[in-house]
Amino acid sequence: MPRLSALVLALSLPLAAQAQEATLALPEGTEDDLRTVLENASLTLSLEAEGLTSAQDYVAAARADYARLLAALYSEGYYGPVISIVVDGREASTIQPLGAPARIGQVVLSVDPGARFAFGRTAIAPLAPATELPPGFAPGEVARSETIEDAVAAAIAAWRDEGNAKAEVASEEIVAVHPEDRLDVAVGIAPGPELSFGSVTVSGNEDVRTARILRIAGIPQGRVFSPEELERAAARLRRTGTFDSVAVVESDAIGPGNTLPIELQVVESLPRRVGFGAEISSVDGLSVTGFWLHRNLLGGAERLRFDAEVSDIGGEQLGTNSGGEDYALGASFARPATFSPDNDLLLAARLSQEDEEDYFLQQFTFDVGITRYATDDLTLSFALGLLAAHEETPIETRDYTLLTLPLSATWDRRDDPRDARSGFYIDAEATPFASITGEAGNGARAYADARLYRTFGQRVTLAARGQLGSVFGADREDAPQEFLFFSGGGGTVRGQPFQSLGVEVPDPDAPGETVTLGGTSFAGVQLEARVAINETFGAVAFADAGYVDDEPFPSTDGDSQAGVGLGVRYNSFIGPIRLDLATPATGEDRFGAVQVYIGIGQSF
C-alpha cells in the first residue's frame, strides 16, 4: 500500500505542475489596443501556448516581463506606469532564478499604464537637406518611443545618403515632464566627414574568382559613398545564383583620404543543380520538365543550363484536340557583368517539335543578346536571333528561315512571384522578323501580359490578368505559325479545350469543312478570387475569356470563348499546389464538360 500511494503521488506531480494560471490585470477602461500590445509583449502569457510548464520557466519569464512590458508601454507613449508581477503572492523580482518553487499556481501581471504622454520639444540637429522626419515626431503628437527611434534613424540615413557614412548620435536628452504628461526630446547628430568608396576586398570565395566578384558587385571606388550602391552590389551578387549568402561590410575605421574600405563576404553555393516539374490537365495531358544547371562554369559565376520538356503526354488518349506529344530541348549560357555590372550576356538555343491537331511544327532557334537589370523591378532585354522551321498545316507545307530581333521589358512589383497577394506584373514583348529563305513574310509580333493583385483583410485576394497580342506587317498566311495566337487551355481560357479557338480556314482537302489555325490578334482576361481557409488550404473561384481575330488588331469579326471554375490550393514549402476544375461557359459544351488542371504555383 505505501508503494501504491507513492506511485499515485509521483503521477500526480506533473499534473499539479501544469496547473499554472497567468493573467493580465489592467485598470477598467483600458483600451483594447493597449491590452493587445501588452499581451503580445509578455513572455509569461505565451508559455502555455508554447508548451512550457515548469515553475522555473514561469519565474524566468516573469522576471523578464518587467522590461518587456515597460518597453511596450514606452512604445505606446506611457512613461509613468506601475508594473507588478506577483507569483503566488510574491513579487517576481524577489525570486532568484534558481530559487523557483516546486510548483506555481497563479501569476498575475498588474499594469497601471498611467497617463499617455505627448511630445513637447522635438529637436534633432543638424539635419541633412533631404531629411524627412516621421510626421508623428512633432509637438502634441503621441510620444511613442518607436517614433523617436524612427526619427533618429531617418536623420542618420539622410546624412548617409549625402555620403556621410559615419553619421551617428552625438548626444541625446529625453525628459519626461510628469506633471504635464509631456516628453521633451533633443538629439544631436555628428555627421562626420563626407567619404568616398575606398578599397574593396573579398572573402569567403573558393571557386569564383575575386576579380569577377568585384566586377559583378560594381562598387565604384573613388565615388562618393552611397548606401544605395552597396544595396545594388549585394543584389547583383545574389542575382547570379552562385552564392548562398552575401554580406557587404563597411569598415569601422575611415581609410586614407576620407575613404571607406568595403569587404564583400560571400558563401558559395554548390555549383550544380537539378530540377524537375510536372503539370497535368484533362485537356492537355501531362507535361514534364527538367533542367540541369551549372552556376559557375568558368569561375566567373557563368551559368550553363540545359532544359528538357515533354508535353501533351496522353493527349490523344484523352480524346482532345491537343494532337500528339510535344518535345523541346534547350541550352543557355549567361555571363553576368558583361559591359557593365547590370548587364548579362545571354546565348540560348532551342530545338522543339509541336504536334497539334491542325498543324505540325519543327523549329530551331538561336539567340544572342543582353539582359539589362535597369532597376530592382525593371528588366530589359534585346537580342539578335535566327529561327529555322519546318511547318505542316492542312493548307500547305513550308520551310523557312527568319532573322529575328526579340525585345522585351518586364516590370515586376509583386510581393511574392509564386503566390502574389499585392503588387503588379507587366511583361511586354516585340519581335520584328525578316525572311532570309523560304516561304514566310516580314513583320513583327507584339505581346503584352499584365497582372494585378489586391488583398482585402487577411484572407481574400483578387487577381486579374489581361493579355493582348498582335502580328502586323505580314498576313496570317505569311506569318510563322509559332507567332500566331490561339485561345483555350490553362494559359488562356480554362475549361475550353487546348487551342480550340483560332481562325477557321477552309480545308482544301475536304470541301465544306474548316481547320483551326492561329489568328493575328488575341485578347484575353482571367479573374480570380482567392480565399485563404486556413494556413494550409485555400479556395479559388475564377472566370476566363479569350478572343482571336484574323486582323492585326481585334475587331468585331473575331470569335470569343469563356470558361469558369473552382479550385483548391495547398500551401507547401515549394509554393501553392493547385487543383482547378473548369467548365466551358460558351459553346456547344457550355456547362456540360469539366476539365481538370493540376500544377505548382498559382495559375498566374
Judge contact between 545 and 534, C-beta under 8 A.
no
For 11, 22, 384, 471, the CA distances from 106, given in Å and listed in that order, are 21, 6, 75, 76
Q: Measured between alpha carbons, how far is 548 from 560 in angstroms, rounded to an integer? A: 6
Which distant-in-sequence residues (6+ apart) come within 8 Å of 221 by Cβ? 196, 197, 198, 199, 200
Judge contact between 471 and 441, C-beta under 8 A.
no
Q: Measured between alpha carbons, how far is 227 from 436 in angstroms, rounded to an integer? A: 50
Tell me, what DSSP letter sits at residue 587?
S
- The alpha carbon of residue 363 and the mean position of all alpha carbons in its chain are separated, in whole angstroms, by 34
pTM, rounded to two decimals: 0.81
**440-458 pLDDT, tens digit each:** 889 999 999 999 999 999 8
Residue in the block written with cell 540615413: 157
**What pLDDT score was predicted for residue 6?**
35
Torsion sign, CA atoms 547, 553, 556, 559: negative
Judge contact between 346 and 370, C-beta under 8 A.
yes
| pLDDT at residue 3 is higher than 80 | no
What single-letter amino acid sits at 306?
F
**144-154 pLDDT, tens digit each:** 999 999 999 99
Judge contact between 441 and 479, C-beta under 8 A.
yes
Helix (H) or strand (E) holding 169: strand 168-177
Least confident of 138-152, 187-201, 382-396, 546-560: 546-560
Q: Nine-digit cell at 128?
A: 541633412
Bridge partner residues of 351 (DSSP): 329, 364
Judge contact between 564 and 585, C-beta under 8 A.
yes
- Phi and psi of 266, rounded to 5°? -125, 155
Q: Nine-digit cell at 533?
A: 481557409
| pLDDT at residue 513 is higher than 50 | yes
Find out whether the peptide bond into 261 is cis, omega within 30 degrees of 0: no
Rounded mean pLDDT of 450-474? 96
What's the N-to-C CA distance of the chain in angstroms?
71
| pLDDT at residue 500 is higher than 60 | yes
Tell me, what DSSP letter sits at residue 115?
P
Judge contact between 543 and 465, C-beta under 8 A.
no
Rounded mean pLDDT of 270-275? 94
- pLDDT above 70 covers a percentage of the chain that reads 95
Domains with residue ranges and CATH for the chain: 15-112 (3.10.20), 118-190 (3.10.20), 196-268 (3.10.20.310), 272-600 (2.40.160.50)
Q: Which residue has the higher pLDDT, 78 or 3?
A: 78
| pLDDT at residue 268 is higher than 90 | yes
Banded pLDDT at 315 (limits 50, 70, 90): low
**What pLDDT score was predicted for residue 12?**
35
Closest to 350 in 3D by CA, of 326, 327, 329: 329
Banded pLDDT at 14 (limits 50, 70, 90): very low
**What pLDDT score was predicted for residue 192?**
96
Least confident of 88-97, 139-148, 383-392: 88-97
C-beta neighbour count of 112 within 10 angstroms: 15
Q: Nine-digit cell at 507?
A: 480545308
pLDDT, the chain, mean: 91
Closest to 490 in 3D by CA, of 601, 588, 325, 362: 601
What SS3 class is residue 35? helix
